[in-house]
Amino acid sequence: MAMCQMCRRNLLAGERYRRWRYAGRDATVCVVCEPEVIRAGWVPLAERYERVRANGLSGSVRRVA
């Protein structure tokens, strides 16, 4: 499970995020926190967004409805 390194929130299945680099380290940052990391001068590692994958959850999540 991915976690945003700025707000420390666990990212939900399907949620968009991007990888950033600061102080020689790579970090995962959610879309909501991106303006803050841009102001802080972090560098994006990729121009495209990625999404949290939900593979493997179908066995543990019960379908409702």
**What amino acid occupies position 4?**
C
The structure tokens listed for 18 are 């991007």
User: pTM for the whole thing?
Assistant: 0.71
* pLDDT for the residue 1: 65
Q: Token digits for 4? A: 């945003």
Domain ranges within the chain, ordered by starting residue: 1-56
Sign of the CA dihedral running 24, 29, 33, 35? positive
Q: What is the pLDDT of residue 25?
A: 92
Predicted local distance difference test score (pLDDT) of residue 14: 85
